[in-house]
Amino acid sequence: EAGVTQFPSHSVIEKGQTVTLRCDPISGHDNLYWYRRVMGKEIKFLLHFVKESKQDESGMPNNRFLAERTGGTYSTLKVQPAELEDSGVYFCASSQLSGTDTQYFGPGTRLTVL
Amino acid sequence: DAKTTQPPSMDCAEGRAANLPCNHSTISGNEYVYWYRQIHSQGPQYIIHGLKNNETNEMASLIITEDRKSSTLILPHATLRDTAVYYCIVRVPFSGNTGKLIFGQGTTLQVKP
């Protein structure tokens, strides 16, 4: 069984540009979560989807971040325009709708904003 | 804000048991304790979780105190490949059985030959 995959693994962009990160959850997992770690800080929750619906986006830092999950499969996280403080590692995790909600993480996307 | 506190680092001899402590004194009754680890630049890897009772799986054991204010992760026979950052996490539930993981700073475990 394939795990959670994320693309790209690394992205280097300039301040003011736009970047889109993609997450493919484990097949059959309806729950999808985004987390991120910025420099020197803990990994923090951003938002949660159940299928295509956003259930909680209390961790989204501001309106420069837009997450979507059209069709309830893969998800994208767009940052527009990117700022220096957005640099960090963005993780995606998925879990089954039934059961214990054990979240399986992808390898992350390392975003560097110059 | 983090809901857990862990020692920043620990050493363990290869083949011995590694006991990693965690304090979560403000945990609520419906919040689970999860343990994950992160090896180098990989994503966090699930280890084990529990609510009140002690738990064991093929990777580790989790001992939760009766008042639920602290827990210990036990790796029974540590190997060099167990060197990683270990996160003790409180899962804050949403509706249903979903929830967000609240990470702390973690403990860097160094297993030495």
A36 exposed, middle or buried (CB, 10 Å; 0-12, 13-18, 19+)?
buried
Contacts of B100 in chain A (CB under 8 A): 33, 45, 48, 56, 59
Q: What is the mean pLDDT of each run of 10 residues along chain A (114 residues)?
A: 92 97 95 94 95 93 94 95 96 89 95 97
Which of B2, B95, B101 lies nearest to residue A103, judging by beta carbons? Answer: B101
Contacts of A94 in chain B (CB under 8 A): none
Percentage of residues of chain B with pLDDT beyond 90 = 87
Q: What is the pLDDT of residue A2?
A: 81
CA dihedral B28, B29, B35, B41 (to 10 degrees): -40
Contacts of B97 in chain A (CB under 8 A): 98-101
In one-letter notation, the amino acid at residue B110 is Q
**Whole-number Å distance between alpha carbons of A102 and A96:** 8
pLDDT tens by residue, B57-89:
999 999 999 999 999 999 999 999 999 999 999
User: Please, which residues bridge with residue A94 across strands?
Assistant: A32, A104
Q: What is the pLDDT of residue B63?
A: 97
Interchain CB contact of A55 with B (< 8 Å): yes
Q: What is the pLDDT of residue B40?
A: 85
Summary mean pLDDT of chain B: 94
